[in-house]
Structure 1
Amino acid sequence: MSVNTANTPDGHGVLIYNGEVILVFARGVVMTIEENDNQNLQGKYDGALYLTSHRVIFMPEENQMFRSFEMPFSSMQDVHLEQPIFGANYLRGIAVAIPGSQLYGEVPWRLTFNKGGCIDFGKTLLEAVDRASR
């Protein structure tokens, strides 16, 4: 995982690699970053979520601690889809820092889909991880 590496210089767009494809885009997603060893990173952030053929990118709304939060598939661990009786469906897991990034250690995260789409996002994520591992 890394921060501020997947956005355009003005912070309003996503940078994708040559050959990378955006598979799913979701608005109205809340990313919760739980307690971790990285200073000032924990909290709840509203924003948009991109699933590409290689990674998950969260772009928070204006004036947040970071402009993008990137999780390549290889850095995602213990990913689960939760369907609570009350409340929106969400994905949760742990992101491990990429060597050379501004972060270190493990960061527990949660992506809550308040406007729906969690199941479709989760299914597409599993398919993308399977294709990328071939």
Structure 2
Amino acid sequence: MTTDSRLQPGERVLAEVKKVSFLLKSSCPTAPLQSSTEGSIILTNTKFELLWPPSGHLWLPLNCIRGVQVQQPIFGANYIDVAVQAPAGAGWEGPGNVTISFQSGGCIEFSRALVRLSQGHVPAPDNETADQDDSRTTPDDKKNK
């Protein structure tokens, strides 16, 4: 798991997926990520964050999520469409839609965790440390060890 200095007190990383591409569709011309970008995504107990090289990031609090749809095309990577409302002070306004494509797997697990969290089902804290060297980890991974 990633240790991130942007984490607030009490916030913890619950899932991380590398090798994803994402796009924010919004009618607001100042919205970031108007073209497809590759990077990684992190899910914490309070937000999800899109990260791209060299230092770009966009975070969205879980209370900004208005819906999550999983798409499983016959040809191509699974992806999720996340309907969001721009958070206050984000530099853009109004509703948007974040499309996240998972080139190396992890879409179903990540979307399940995102839906549970956006509905207020926050897992209890644990004292385990993640020592996995995988491109994706989810809360369910710890149960399977």
Q: Which residue of 2 aligns with 1:4?
A: none
SS at match of 2:70: strand
Aligned with 1:24: secondary structure? strand
Deviation at 1:81, TM superposition (A): 0.9
Query: Matched residues in 1 for 2:37 and 2:63: separation?
Result: 23
Residues of 2 paired with 1:57 and 1:99: CA distance?
Answer: 16
Per the alignment, residue 48 of structure 1 pairs with 40
TM-score (norm 1): 0.78
Unaligned runs of 5+ in 2: 123-145
Within 2, Cα distance between the matches of 1:35 and 1:21? Answer: 29
Higher Cα Rg, which structure: 2
Superimposed CA distance per residue, residues 54-101 of structure 1 (whole angstroms, 9 cap, x where no aligned partner)? 1110001227xxx21111111111211111111111110222111233
2:92 to 87, 92, 103: 103
Gaps of 5+ in 1: 1-12
- State the AA in 2 paired with 1:56: F
Task: Tell me which moved more, 109-118 or 35-44.
Answer: 35-44
Q: CA RMSD in A?
A: 1.8
TM-score between both structures, scaled by the size of structure 2? 0.73
Task: Note the C-alpha offset of 1:32.
Answer: 1.4
Q: Quote the residue 2:50 is aligned against.
A: 58
Matched, 1:18 2:9: yes
| Identity percentage of aligned residues | 24
